[in-house]
Structure 1
């Protein structure tokens, strides 16, 4: 057996896992680990902030389905990862995060950057709520076993981030070890659903007059896009994905009807709330997706009968009662359901099909609402900016977005046509996510155009990662829709309290994003004020060889400037006397 340092064991195991990139910022607590990558096939990417490292790994995994590794030093370098790791955890995105830790003989002595007042070397306690598992490696000989377990946990079942705390002396220590084969610790099949439950669900679907299919992020993680479309086409059932499943079916498909929830489509909410059977696959039924669970707005379960499929038994029946709950992989169970339905009913046709006609009519009505916002007014709407982006972007191009108005408009209004071409933070709704996630997406799919749509506020939270793209020559385009403030929250203030109660959401001093981009080394940066000029500018940015930034000046003072609100979102009202 070869004698390897802890850092070398990590490097060689990442090579066996096929990990392309190690992403992180060095510090005194990780130098022994990093040194091994001077001689590794794994390329090291240098972000400008540890949060950016985790978002980059997140974007890579969403675009490819494969995890990256992140590394940091001890202390604040490690705590800087928490927001990005939590973002990945809530959306079930795999990554493995290595953090430096005190030398084992110094645990609890309060060395530089140690958290130890509750218990020695206590940083793993910070990571426990936002990871599937947090490991501490106390001896270099433990590393091979911990590494294979870390990647097994991160990538199987319901995926998610895993943390590995590696003391400095374990990184530098040496041992005679064998590097394990990853395939030896992986399942070689996906779990199917219980046949009796599948049969019960198929009976409901075959007998339904108004079925709807609601694929969630679990369908994207499980690569169930073909199976979902095949089942929908057999039943002629409308497909109403969650935003984490955006792209699971082409958005110009005759059965796609948009989304349900607070900012869903009118068609999605109408059809979902009037379904007799709802088939939810890999879907969590969150407040945003269900209009805060208010009956009859987005869903009405019951009387709608719910078939709930998920890889995680804790999600089934958590927020709505089920008629049939099926524990299993989204791809396998959806295929089982299609086969069982096909045994019961022939493919449903469209001729003299009143339900199909209703689907087409409702979708056309929604499209008209969206088009009404795509005017050539100056300043332009975000909807108008996105219409130009759709014209400029390849059909298989990837669009990324962070929290705020750009995400509120992109998710329901910007059409995508393939899986893994919409990358957007979901349940944790993290501002600044897209700046670095877009870099990860482009590293994962260098053959695709990648555009990150950011608000000015969100962009400024992680703008330093533009310099990471410049250094590594990653060909990403940022579209910054600038409305001078936190206007998503401003609009909530106006809606709840009135214009005279707006506080701390507009920006008093603007930022020159073109100049900012130039200072980071971006060679293409343009500002667009007139909407008729935006498509051509975006086409030039996408054709540019290297990172590019386009700033679009959008309307700042319209309380309806963000999403088209079609559902409800309960944020609690003030209890006070007027």
Structure 2
């Protein structure tokens, strides 16, 4: 037992958890907590906005599989985390968020920055719907137990963010406590699937003529990529991941067929909608992925028979009826299914296999279409042309980070990745500005990898202050800003629904728009280049990656590409306002 104050307890516990960084901005509600990290091995990273702190932790976890800790003060510092925490929650990304709180003896007295009109110290109610659990530490002696439970909750089952409010007096209070060993509160095994359900799934797959495997973000979280690839190769089944499953199978693998949905590949939509059996592993079946559930566009379930595997039973059968629903860990259950299939049938051959030949033909047709877009040397450039140069410049294991908007709508379907955890992209919450900080986190997690944040100008402006964080901490990454002078994905939706005469102003006048090179200079970025002609792209990107420190590359792209520059192959249901 050791006599420690609340801040010291947190610091020592984070060290035991192996947490490398504590990310946040100091405030009067966190001074006691923060002081303890003067003597800690946990490095403190200070972004410029608390949303950026949460996105940084998010990017770190997506790239590494390990959580970081976020800290903020009481009040607006705490509420500023909400967008970042919600982004992580929707995509099941673990982190632990510490916020300050009113002194326990002043709860409900309306002290500076307290939310108390409905309930005393009511900020945890704000976090309740966007975290797996929210704790309040009323007594410093309870802090070690709550820390253990917070990380246990964040990391086990379906991962996600957890909130811990630590009142200001609890941060400074002293107690004789023992810091628990995290390993003693962890599940030592992963949950497998019910044997009867696994057998039923194997029966369907062994007899299938047109199986399709759909791995989602759950396969990344459980590190099930080897198991997915092995099962796909045994069945010679095409693999169509979700965007959160991007990287589970290398995109140059002969069974990879792209992504189903609104901006999916023609190959994936055709094969998935005509499958006799679909094996979905760690998948939510969202509206963008399913073409808003329109039958026969991306999926048709039924008559396709669905085997749905997920750690969270809430997802099984939520949006499509299942033939077999299996609750369990993606890695374990996929391996179980593989063994059960192998007991029932020999490996499927490719020679003379008409389905395999169809898979190759459909994928080749899609690649031909994309390659034609990538070869376009017009000025202003297309986003596809910029991404082609980026892929040529980057290492095979480089990490690409993207936020919402036009760049993400083209990057996810068209930019190939070849290894797990090399695509870091906000999914279900589709958050503008995510990538500016998430890229910092990804680089901190994988310092030996190239990291690029692909940002639209509108998205970059939402969180551009975090470039200062990258400069301060000398984080070696590239910001690739695709500048089309406005929020063009939203403008294009307005045009599609109401016509040009009903478009509200979503454009920035090029004559008065931000000068991104001057912005980079203001942040003390030493490498900043603007690219107008496509033939200069690769050289500039090569130089940016070679530069030691943050770099900004502004690529001037077309402002008026149809469909925001993406290839629309599916459907997306947006409600009209017609009477």
The TM-score bracket by the shorter chain reads over 0.9
Partner residue of 1:37? 37
Say how many residue pairs are matched: 576
Pair 1:562 & 2:565 matched: yes
1:461 deviates by 0.3
3-state SS of paired residue (1:570): coil
Q: Which residue of 2 aligns with 1:16?
A: 16
- Deviation of the 1:521 alpha carbon: 0.9
Matched, 1:518 2:525: no
Residue of structure 2 equivalent to 1:461: 462
Q: Which residue of 1 aligns with 2:548?
A: 545
Structure 2 CA distance, aligned partners of 1:54 and 1:553?
Answer: 30
Structure 1 position 49 matched with structure 2 position 71: no
Give the C-alpha shift of residue 562 in structure 1: 2.1
Q: Is the 8 A contact 1:494 1:559 kept in 2?
A: no
Asked if the contact 1:85/1:131 (under 8 Å) is kept, the reply is: yes
**1:537-574, CA deviations, whole angstroms, 9 ceiling, x for partnerless residues?**
00000000000010000000222342100000001122
The corresponding residue for 1:281 is 281
Match of 2:4 in 1: 4
Query: Aligned Cα RMSD in Å?
Result: 0.6
1:301 matched to which residue of 2? 301
Could you list the runs of 5+ residues in structure 2 that have no partner in the other structure? none
Name the counterpart of 2:494: 493
SS in 2 for 1:288: coil
1:438 is aligned to: 439
User: Which structure 2 residues correspond to residues 188-203 of structure 1 after superposition, within 5 A?
Assistant: 188-203=188-203
TM alignment of 1:117-136, pairs within 5 A: 117-136=117-136
Aligned partners of 2:489 and 2:371: how far apart in 1? 21
Counterpart of 2:346? 346
Q: How does 1:74-473 map to 2 (within 5 A)?
A: 74-374=74-374, 375-473=376-474
Equivalent residues of 1:482, 1:552 under 8 A apart: yes
Q: Which moved more, 1:338-347 or 1:447-456?
A: 338-347
Name the CA distance, whole Å, in 2 between partners of 1:541 and 1:466: 15
Residue of 507, 529, 536 corresponding to 2:532: 529
TM-score w.r.t. structure 1 length? 0.99
Q: Distance in 1 between matches of 2:561 and 2:149?
A: 51
Instruction: Supply the distance in 1 between the matched residues of 2:254 and 2:516 (Cα, whole angstroms).
Output: 40
Cα displacement (A) at 1:496 = 1.3
1:575 maps onto 2:578 in alignment:
yes
Question: 1:12-32: per-residue Cα shift (whole Å, max 9, x none)?
Answer: 000000000000000000000
Could you report, residue by residue, the CA deviation over 1:491-550 in whole angstroms, capped at 9, with x for unpaired residues? 111111222222121113311111101110100000000011001100000000000010
Distance in 2 between residues matched to 1:236 and 1:568, nearest whole Å: 28
SS in structure 1 opposite 2:565? Answer: coil
1:352-382 Cα shifts (integer Å, max 9, x gaps): 1110011011101111121222200000000
Q: Distance in 2 between matches of 1:343 and 1:315?
A: 29
Q: Runs of 5+ in structure 1 lacking a partner? A: none
Per-residue CA deviation, residues 27-82 of structure 1 (Å, 9 max, x unaligned), is: 00000000000000000001000000000000000000000000000000000000
Q: Distance in 2 between matches of 1:351 and 1:574?
A: 53
| Secondary structure of the corresponding residue to residue 289 of structure 2 | helix
In 2: Cα distance, 1:295 partner to 1:419 partner: 31
Query: CA separation in 2, counterparts of 1:494 and 1:2?
Result: 65
Retained in 2: the 8 A contact 1:381–1:561?
A: no
Cα offset for 1:410? 0.3
Match of residue 62 from structure 2:
62
Q: 1:161-195 deviations in whole A, cap 9, x for unaligned?
A: 00000000000000000000001110000000000
Q: Does the residue aligned with 1:150 lie in a helix, a strand or coil?
A: helix
Q: Is the 8 A contact 2:489 2:563 kept in 1?
A: no
